[in-house]
Structure 1
Amino acid sequence: MSHIKEDLKDLVQNTMIPEIEDYLDDLHKILEKKEETEDDMLAIKEMESLLVDLQNVLAVIEEDKTEDSEYQRIYDYIVGSLEKKHD
């Protein structure tokens, strides 16, 4: 496995998916208390969709049929998004 695929896999598995799952847990707690807003419901849909997308990224990495440049593009996009989030 190339270096970028390993980096991407690590980023998705150990950073992105756990963060999204934690956020979804928090949102589901709001649902349980019946205190959700429309924004909360939208966030749940978006986070669940993102989680599926990230799981698909992991599946593509395992198939190993994509060019490294595409893995680099995805990695750069995720890192850029994380940097914007922390600004």
Structure 2
Amino acid sequence: MSNIKNELKKVVTETMIPETEEYLEELHSQYENNTLSDEDKEVIRDMESFLVELQNILLLIKENKITDEEAQDVYEKITAMLDEHTEESH
């Protein structure tokens, strides 16, 4: 497996999926407490779809159905999202 695919797999499994699942848990807690807005419900649907996309990326890597160029593109998009999120948090 190429280095970029390993890096992509690492960022998806170690950062993106855990953070997405954690955020979804928070949203589901709010849902159980009836404190979700319609917008929040839409966010839940979006985050669940995003989680599926992340899992699909891992499957593509595992089955070697993603090129290095595609992996590089996805990796750059993910790291840009992470950078943006980090900047917003500060």
* One-letter amino acid of the structure 2 residue matched with residue 24 of structure 1: L
* One-letter amino acid of the structure 1 residue matched with residue 39 of structure 2: D
Runs of 4+ in 1 over 2 A off after TM superposition: none
RMSD, matched Cα: 0.7
Q: Map 1:4-43 onto structure 2 (within 5 A).
A: 4-43=4-43
Shift of 1:74: 0.3
Normalising by the residue count of structure 1, what TM-score does the alignment of the two structures yield? 0.96
* One-letter amino acid of the structure 1 residue matched with residue 6 of structure 2: E
Count of residue correspondences:
87
Q: Map 1:37-76 onto structure 2 (within 5 A).
A: 37-76=37-76
- CA deviation map 1:12-52 (0-9, x unaligned): 00100000000000000001111110121011001000000
**What residue number does 1:77 align with?**
77
* One-letter amino acid of the structure 1 residue matched with residue 36 of structure 2: E
Shift of 1:85: 1.4
Structure 2 residue ranges without an equivalent (≥5): none
Normalising by the residue count of structure 2, what TM-score does the alignment of the two structures yield? 0.93
Structure 1 residue ranges without an equivalent (≥5): none
Give the Cα separation in 1 of the matches to 2:45 and 2:13.
20
- Aligned identity (percent) is 44
